[in-house]
Homo-oligomer: A and B are copies of this chain.
Amino acid sequence: MKYKPASQSRQEGYNQALMTAPDFSFDLLARQGNARVGVFHTPHGPLQTPVFAPVGTQATVKSLTPRQVDELGASLVLANTYHLYLRPGDELVAQMGGLHRFMRWEKPILTDSGGFQVFSLAEMRKVDEDGVTFKSHIDGSTHRFTPEKSVLIQENLGADIIMAFDECAPPYERAYCELAMNRTHAWAERSLNAKKRPDQALFGIVQGGAFPDLRARSAGFISSLDFPGYAIGGLSVGETKEDMHRMLELVTPLLPESRPRYLMGVGSPEDLVNGVLRGIDIFDCVLPTRLARHQAAMTRTGRLNMMNAGFARDPNPIDASCGCYTCRNFSRAYIRHLIIAREMLAATLLSIHNLHTLVQLMADIREAIGAGTFEAFAAEFLRGYESRE
């Protein structure tokens, strides 16, 4: 591959996108109950749903090369607007030809709006109707995000799917949830108006905490705006599993059938199965790569702590039924040795395994929905899964 000057290649990419920009249509291929199989068309190829997106916070899925992420079967990667805006800067990424070229991921990318990190990571924040002023968690410098600014940053980054700027409130604080929801609605309209690039799909976000009436109002308002996809934010942030499920059951029927639905920041294997059962098409979560850096392996029956002394002389792979590079090649004894010897390869091999476990789970879910056996699949899965929550 030849390197071209970044500005030239960015312009080329942009021109090409204008000519060949897909309509971001969503083809529903199969249904069972509320669960659906679909294809979402993006400028970087079709995305089969339901899909799980590994998180590449700083334009890298931690401890993996993009080739490894591709080989383990991932099709969509999420990157964080807040982090990339601060470092290396969205304008630098644009100069380098956009995020796909910068991080060498040729399949679809999704960026969040930056809102969640501003509200969870930034050192100081002051919200007003127009936007948020905050201090960088890296160097304490002051910055301001507005819906327009978030869209501009995401246009510089150049992901296929971008998100409207939103505010995520603690799920059981009613007054704050209502305030944040109303701001999220106003910001959704402003995000839509600010958007210029035709080759990006902007998704709206439903908020409303754990309050059914707020969630219903939010789903109604956001779905009245013409977004090519809809996200459900503010879940998996401290509410009970029951409340998360109740909110999903309430919200998804209020969203258009013909558009993909994205449950942000979720989840564990059981959360993915429960989400699909309730009509979710897209998921992302740091869990598999974060657990990998904390010596935990995900399996379809629960988690394994690979430091466990019982694995010291265990010649078996993490999961005998798993087809990932790690399980095809390495013993539990070797992975435990790498962890104890503090070798970086431990995080790499566990990340490959954990991500493959979720990606393969989604592939099996798609197949089960297509075959009309998903309800039995889900029931058996949830019966066999040992929850840690």
Q: Which residues of A are interface residues toward B (Cβ below 8 A)?
A: 1, 3-6, 58-60, 62-68, 83, 87-88, 92, 95-97, 102-104, 312-313, 315-317, 320, 325, 328-331, 333-334, 336-338, 340-341, 343-345, 347-349
Residues of B within 8 A of A345 (CB): 60, 62-65
Question: Is A96 a contact of B334 with CB atoms below 8 Å?
Answer: yes
Question: Is A331 a contact of B65 with CB atoms below 8 Å?
Answer: no
Residues of B within 8 A of A66 (CB): 329
Q: How far is the CB of A292 from chain B (nearest CB, A)?
A: 11
Query: Which 3 pairs across A and B sit closest by C-beta, in order of nearness?
Result: A88-B337, A58-B341, A63-B344
Q: How far is the CB of A109 from chain B (nearest CB, A)?
A: 15
Among B92, B333, B340, B349, which residue has its beta carbon within 8 angstroms of that of A65?
A: B349
Question: Is B60 a contact of A315 with CB atoms below 8 Å?
Answer: no
Residues of B within 8 A of A88 (CB): 312, 333, 336-337, 340-341
Give the complex CA separation of A374 and B264 in angstroms.
60
Question: Is B3 a contact of A102 with CB atoms below 8 Å?
Answer: no
Give the complex CA separation of A15 and B152 in angstroms.
67
Question: Is B87 a contact of A340 with CB atoms below 8 Å?
Answer: yes
**A–B Cβ pairs within 8 angstroms, 20 of them:** A3-B315, A3-B316, A3-B317, A6-B313, A6-B315, A58-B341, A59-B334, A60-B341, A60-B343, A62-B343, A62-B345, A63-B345, A65-B325, A65-B349, A88-B337, A92-B312, A96-B331, A102-B331, A102-B333, A104-B329
Give the complex CA separation of A246 and B328 in angstroms.
49
Residues of B within 8 A of A83 (CB): 341
Question: Is A337 a contact of B59 with CB atoms below 8 Å?
Answer: yes
Q: How far is the CB of A322 from chain B (nearest CB, A)?
A: 12
Question: Is A92 a contact of B333 with CB atoms below 8 Å?
Answer: yes
Give the complex CA separation of A92 and B311 in angstroms.
12
Q: How far is the CB of A23 from chain B (nearest CB, A)?
A: 31
Give the complex CA separation of A349 and B348 in angstroms.
13
Residues of B within 8 A of A317 (CB): 3
Give the complex CA separation of A61 and B211 in angstroms.
52
Residues of B within 8 A of A1 (CB): 328-329
Q: How far is the CB of A43 from chain B (nearest CB, A)?
A: 20
Q: How far is the CB of A58 from chain B (nearest CB, A)?
A: 4
Interface core residue of A58, A68, A345 (most chain B CB under 10 Å): A345
Question: Is B329 a contact of A96 with CB atoms below 8 Å?
Answer: no
Instruction: Look across to chain B and name the residue whose beta carbon is closest to the beta carbon of A352.
Output: B65
